[in-house]
Amino acid sequence: MSITQSPSTAAPTAFHTPADVQEFVDLWADIFQPDTIEWCDGSIAEKDRLISLMVSQGTLEPLNAELRPYSFIARSAPSDVARVESRTFICSTTESEAGPTNNWVEPGQMKTDMLDVMTGSMRGRTMYVVPFSMGPIDSPLSRFGVQLTDSPYVVVSLHTMVRVSSDLLDIMDSHHTWVRCVHTVGAPLEEGQADVAWPANDTKYISHFPDTKEIWSFGSAYGGNALLPKKAFALRIASVMAKEEGWLAEHMLLVRVTSPEGKVYHLAAAFPSACGKTNFAMMQPSLPGWKVETLGDDITWLAAGPRGELRAINPEAGFFGVAPGTSRKTNPIAMDTLWGNTIFTNVATTSEGDVWWEGMSKTAPSDLTDWQGNAYDPSSGTTAAHPNARFTVGIHQCPTLGEGWDDPEGVAIDAIIFGGRRSDTVPLVMEARDWNHGVFLGSTIASEQTAAAEGPVGKVRRDPFAMVPFCGYNMADYFQHWFDVGSDLRENGHTPRIFQVNWFSKNSDGQFIWPGFGDNIRVVKWMVDRIEGNTGATHHPMGLLPQRGSLDIEGLDLTDSDLSALLDPNTERVLDDLDDAEEFLSKFGQKLPPALLTELQRIRNELGGAGGNQAAA
């Protein structure tokens, strides 16, 4: 059981605490000045006690236990509803190391600024010490950390999202590297001062220190700002660790696909937001005999295995998903996953004590309470649930969870997929010629903005590898690291195939041409056929495209013109897109790997010289 101490910082005698962990806790206890310190053990009893505490404080409200067993709703402060990219910093030694896609502040200056607001920021509160593992505790691919926080909401969320255990303290004693995660809501309580249901601070920092493997977060209790093992550790800091150690930390889903013949394939796929990532991770195939199992929906770590193959783990243990748009139609598996044992944040609630959000049903129930706790007025022009409303639930509740999803050895990757949201220009599917061409495809991925995000609707934004918000160092060096990993894999003859997909082509009426969702298995089937050598492909300067008849479209209402729009890239649009990609890549200056410009120029030359499809492969 967890043990509360005050004012001593010492770990309970039941815990074996490494000296450097104790020093870390001592240092920050002096800075934060909490009233009490609690060392967390990750037990069910601990989680239950903290949930009861938050119910009594008004942070959580129980839902109807008959409709949604052991589930709760949290309503955040209106100023604390999403990741704040403008206040997210990569504090490497030099600005060049951070690169043009990151906000940079010199690390000494950042620590000085943050210590000014962090000193005394936990007065009147409890400081929780949370040891955790990213990935199976006994996996060679896993990494460890300790988060300090004054938010019980964060502690309970970490129980779901990662592996929290006091047993890790024993293991960490033999590890030289563990990530130091420091978080405070920045809302000290003076003696006699009443608390609020969702304490936060208008000033926010989410700062990463790659050289010392530290993350400091101030002012927010929400999502990736506060659940530091997620985006902050698992991508921003882990991407730096991966570069140093020769592996990859990626914003990718992970699935197992089984063919009707019983052959198994493992796919990792990177998609920017609003591109169907979670739907792919929980796909229900429309083709008979095919099976897709969920291994992860958001983050994948990949490293060379003992035989030189690329292996992957999901470093998380839960889902922190966007609720709006999730429904029985779009993602029935996700809906089944949320049957109970779930914390919902900033969704609406029904008069029966259940949850609701836009997209769950065609019409909204009457008598809704909105995400801020007020009676919802449909004529107000606002949404009942916040557009970034979330659910936090354990991965073990997913009906399509694959057996051995937490195998310490991970799974061997057969293919890597990149995707974006494009109404034209990019075909439904194409295969990279080789690894270097695949890196080019990943580095030039772009998506058109939707109404759910900042920016003009339809504007194309580059998001290489879906990692622009999450790469912890200069993306030019990140591109080179991908080239280097591919070179090592080639030496062992185990380079995965690379594909690019686009589910979002539209016709002249502005309607989506491809049905998507479970029919995306048809595209996966073509990929499998390519891996097995069972089908040819058509050479195009952009990549290898499906030959007519090789893509299974039986039963779909697609015309010849539809197929042409899906599979035949328009040369003029592709050339314009290459110009846009080159302009984006130019921001990296002399650090940009020459191999990327070589690939770009090759495609441009082939389009200008050949102007269309070539011989079959």
**Rounded-to-integer distance, Cα 282 and Cα 316, Å:** 16
Q: Is 367 exposed, middle or buried (0-12, 13-18, 19+ CB in 10 A)?
A: exposed
Q: Is 325 exposed, middle or buried (0-12, 13-18, 19+ CB in 10 A)?
A: middle
Catalytic machinery residues: 275
- Give residue 575's region: left, alpha or beta (phi > 0; psi -120 to 50): alpha
Q: Which amino acid is at 142?
A: S
Assess contact for 448 and 460: CB atoms under 8 A: yes
Task: Give buried/exposed letters for 132-141 (b at 16+ CB in 10 A, else e).
Answer: bbbbbbebeb
DSSP summary character for residue 236: I
Assess contact for 427 and 541: CB atoms under 8 A: no
Cβ atoms within 10 A of the Cβ of 573, count? 13
Q: How many residues does the chain have?
A: 617
Q: How far is CA 565 from CA 103, 276, 503, 521, 554, in A?
A: 39, 20, 12, 19, 18
Residues 6+ apart with CB under 8 A from 326: 278, 334, 335, 357, 359, 360
DSSP H helices, 421-570, are 435-443, 475-491, 521-532, 560-567
DSSP summary character for residue 85: G
Assess contact for 228 and 267: CB atoms under 8 A: no
**Rounded-to-integer distance, Cα 135 and Cα 301, Å:** 9
* Three-state secondary-structure class, residue 504: coil
**Rounded-to-integer distance, Cα 66 and Cα 64, Å:** 5
